[in-house]
Amino acid sequence: MNRLFVVSTVFAFASQIVSCDRKPADAPPSIQYGDAVCDQCNMIISDERWATATVIESSRGPEPKLFDDFNCQVNYEVENPNHAVLARWSHSHTTSKWVRTEEVHFVVSPSIRSPMGSNFAAFASPDEAEPLLTETEGESMTFDSAWQHLGYPGSPVYSKKEAQNDT
């Protein structure tokens, strides 16, 4: 009985280690700032406050596409409508934590200097956005309105399942 306990404990511990390495398919990616390159404009991603990502389904499984600015993310998706989007992520401008892009509260203002000139900053909540909104006399936007502000007729908020049904 003692041997069975040791074997089952070792197995349980090994299972925990293996499962810790697995991330959900739609999890936010890791970015090597100063090394990673934007998948749209090929500029180096150096400031996490502006970094965004779109996780797409590829033949190799989930594949993160990394961007140095929100407009690069939007332009990439517009130019690649056949990609099945699993998730979109943006960093909160104040905390640098990942937030699902569809849930972000954007502030847009000409005085916001983002890497590729979108003039957008993303925040996890309206309260978090309020200081920059006031300081820049900016405009608060949802994901859909931000997408339209960049000149596109509506955001492609769809899932992998919906994309497969479109084919």
Q: Are 112 and 49 in contact (CB under 8 A)?
A: no
Residue 2 has pLDDT above 70, yes or no: no
More confident residue, 15 or 89: 89
Q: How confident is the model at residue 3 (pLDDT cuts 50, 70, 90)?
A: low
CA distances from 108 to 55, 105, 122, 127, 131 (A): 24, 10, 9, 15, 13
Kindly give, in sequence order, each residue whose CB lies less than 8 Å from that of residue 77, ignoring residues fewer than 6 positions away: 54, 83, 85, 156
Please tell me the predicted confidence (pLDDT) of residue 26: 82
Give the predicted TM-score (pTM) of the model: 0.78
CA distance from start to end of the chain: 57
Query: For residue 140, what are its two tokens?
Result: 């608060």
Check pLDDT > 60 for residue 161. Answer: no
Mean pLDDT of the chain: 84
The backbone torsions φ and ψ at residue 50, rounded to the nearest 5 degrees and listed phi first, read -105, -15
Q: Is the pLDDT of residue 75 over 60?
A: yes
pLDDT reading at 85 higher than 70: yes
